Amino acid sequence: VEANDPVALCQMGRERYEEGDYNGAFQYWTKAAGLGYAEAHYELSCSYAEGEGVEIDEEKRVYHLEHAAIGGNPRARYNLGCEEAKNRRMDRANKHFIIAANLGHNESLEVLKNFYAKGHVSKDDFAAALRGHQAAVDATK
């Protein structure tokens, strides 16, 4: 593995994880996250949530989830939106779901659809999220 290639390091982490070597996976993801790779931050947040390769740590889980979201990881945005909704901070939740939908995240769009039906998100915001989601999907074709 190239020493400073965060994508390769993250992939090696996934391979270790699939082999059941959670400690090895954690080490690779830590190196990749240290290089600023958002996907590695997301994987670390999952490790801290599940206690795989490391002790469960809510503070570190959120730290890595936030860094992954800031780095453009749509699943991290979705998870932060779920956290905010669980804590009844609907405005913050909507913002996370809208950003994730604009990145092409299908589950976030479904949540926004449900929130719109319940009056938790405005028609304009839902319409903008639909357009953003479609643009992201079209960009991958």
CA 118 – CA 39 distance, rounded (Å): 32
Kindly state the tokens that stand for 39. 């996907």
Give the per-residue pLDDT at 70: 97
Counting Cβ atoms within 10 Å, is residue 114 exposed (0-12), middle (13-18) or buried (19+)? exposed
The tens digit of pLDDT for each residue in 2-46 reads: 678 999 999 999 999 999 999 999 999 999 999 999 999 999 999
Half-sphere exposure of 98 (CA within 13 A, CB side): 19
Per-residue pLDDT averaged across 103-110, rounded?
A: 97
Name 44's Cβ contacts closer than 8 Å, sequence gap at least 6: 26, 29, 30, 33, 60, 64
Backbone torsions φ then ψ of 80, nearest 5 degrees: -65, -40
Name 19's Cβ contacts closer than 8 Å, sequence gap at least 6: none
> pLDDT confidence of 141, banded at 50, 70, 90?
confident
Q: Which amino acid is at 75?
A: R
The owner of tokens 């999952």 is 46
The tens digit of pLDDT for each residue in 37-81 reads: 999 999 999 999 999 989 999 999 999 999 999 999 999 999 999
With 0.85 as the threshold, say if the pTM is over it: yes
CA 32 – CA 134 distance, rounded (Å): 31
The tens digit of pLDDT for each residue in 108-119 reads: 999 999 999 999
